[in-house]
Structure 1
């Protein structure tokens, strides 16, 4: 098994910097009200120089950096960028397990026969993500999920760490024990009381000592992970939850009628896929990307599902108008998608 863990670097803050480039050189905190009880969702790397980190109170972040810029999270926008990221990833590695908007596992072994080739594939993933969204991501590549996850955090931001099979224990050994996934506050406290400070020390615990410090099933599980043993497969689903198509233009297009012609063509393509799968859809989405790589998407949901290409095209063009009304300008990419799929076709009534 060759698996990678992908983690987008300071994702919320990175999106805000793309949307507002003037924020890039400033300490930026995405979170709640610094004068209330708000909590930091994430901070950019400039803010992290002041010791600001996620889950810290915004009031404490403000105390540490009085000139930090605070912005409220825009989750709809982050979901749009996340979707673009995972679409780009799947063009390189088809099988993924998303564990959040900004992280997940990739079945690198599906496209790479060995760890040398895996490094090349991982670099291609990073390039695909940056090319599609201008976002950076860090990857860890290993023989198991637990090692890949720790490795992805090794060289942030934009780093790549490959741990070949047989080197897991050597790689994990020096890390603080709290870095091991599954070691919560209580387990950490018990281990430290027993003199276990590193992952390597946990890996070396004899059975009796392990049972004393971590009774039950947790102890053997964590010791296995400390040794790089983690048999969990990727959790994926083959169920289609949406259908979409998009196109990046050779040159940015500003002419609205030309854009609508592209949208209609894509809507018909989506409708054909619905027909082939004997499905219909309730939600239609139009996605646009501007020359600066910022992304917008607009959606509408029907009371009754449809598989009619003309109707999907009509709605997609209306959504394009909405997106361009919010932000006029030339577009680098347009996409049309449907979701809320149902396993039957909606029959139109003929009058």
Structure 2
């Protein structure tokens, strides 16, 4: 449990890729433009500029629709190198104030300032200095919030976008959230906001006021977590360390050395499902899956695969993990153990939504049902691996 006090700082550089483009080329400051991924089958807006946002362009909007709204819209490719450098520079600034930081890509960083007041004074003073350094050194305007937990701090930066500073004192979380728009709360995506508006719910405080039976009837079991969030309740710790250095790892040691691919397949699926559950529970997805095999003669082989997006669900992680395992299994020697690593972790890309349309809704709903069962009864209650091993 975290010590008391409003010691969490959240830094949020809004529309990060577009902000970096403007910092690099100030002449774009008053230009409607978007950053979009070139060459994709269905090109969508990754990030709109402030001017484009004011004219109705939003992240995730099809590029053709954005161009219909703004005929003069400029389209810039995603400058991965520049955004990575800006992320690293913000991290360097933050590390000077606290050793306990969570670095999320895209201009998002959390700091836990507990125990730093003797060095830097009140936490809000550190927040002011950090925001000033980011502006002075990188020419980036940031929203910065100080609160007692990550959830409230994140809502705080959303209320001051595109730039500003806010402090939510400990004990004031519920009152601060009460009058904020529901769209600012993590867990409320477009579909959920639409459903809530039908019921006349437009503020976070209205969600917080719902009783258990009302939440269950209206939003289902996941709504209870959303209602608790609306009350400012969050005990999640910082995921410390740089994102690219975080790993979720699982290792299976066989009772006796194996040669059978079916047994290896079962081990990979079991490890993949368990690791994927832990990853999703932390609100993360992965871009790299690695398998290492240790043989009876002491030698070791490894293989890995990457994606430009994210792997999140059991079915995709276990499928890719098995492909990687087959690449690693290059020797006909008995295997002693199998290690699986989910790497290059980052926060889940989409805005979490309780009511997603069509195929995505079904995929999310099935995965959430499986996750709930595993949390309640243990990871082994539902698994594909047993079927594979004994088919």
TM-score (norm 2): 0.56
SS in 1 for 2:166: strand
Q: C-alpha root-mean-square deviation of aligned residues, in Å?
A: 2.8
Shift of residue 234, structure 1, vs aligned partner: 0.9
Relative to structure 1, the CA distance from residue 39 to residue 92 in structure 2 (aligned partners, 3 Å threshold; closer, same or farther) is same
Shift of residue 32, structure 1, vs aligned partner: 4.1
SS in 2 for 1:182: coil
2-structure distance, mates of 1:49, 1:190: 25
1-structure distance, mates of 2:244, 2:193: 41
Shift of residue 238, structure 1, vs aligned partner: 9.2
Asked if the contact 2:101–2:241 (Cα under 8 Å) also holds between the matched residues in 1, the reply is no
2-structure distance, mates of 1:78, 1:200: 36
Tell me which of 9, 19, 39 is aligned to 2:14. Answer: 9
Corresponding residue for residue 231 of structure 1: 235
**Where do 5+ consecutive residues of structure 2 fail to align?**
247-391
Corresponding residue for residue 97 of structure 2: 92
Relative to structure 1, the CA distance from residue 75 to residue 162 in structure 2 (aligned partners, 3 Å threshold; closer, same or farther) is same
Corresponding residue for residue 26 of structure 1: 31
Tell me which of 202, 205, 211 is aligned to 1:200. Answer: 205
Aligned positions of 1:12-161 closer than 5 A: 12-32=17-37, 37-112=42-117, 117-161=122-166
SS in 1 for 2:59: coil
Shift of residue 136, structure 1, vs aligned partner: 1.6
Shift of residue 79, structure 1, vs aligned partner: 0.6
Asked if the contact 1:34–1:61 (Cα under 8 Å) also holds between the matched residues in 2, the reply is no
1-structure distance, mates of 2:146, 2:217: 33
SS in 2 for 1:92: coil
2-structure distance, mates of 1:211, 1:48: 36
Shift of residue 35, structure 1, vs aligned partner: 12
Aligned positions of 1:253-332 closer than 5 A: none
Q: Paired residues, what number?
A: 239
Corresponding residue for residue 214 of structure 1: 219
**Where do 5+ consecutive residues of structure 1 fail to align?**
243-351
Shift of residue 192, structure 1, vs aligned partner: 4.2
Residue 174 (1) aligns with residue 174 (2): no
Tell me which of 163, 166, 186 is aligned to 2:168. Answer: 163
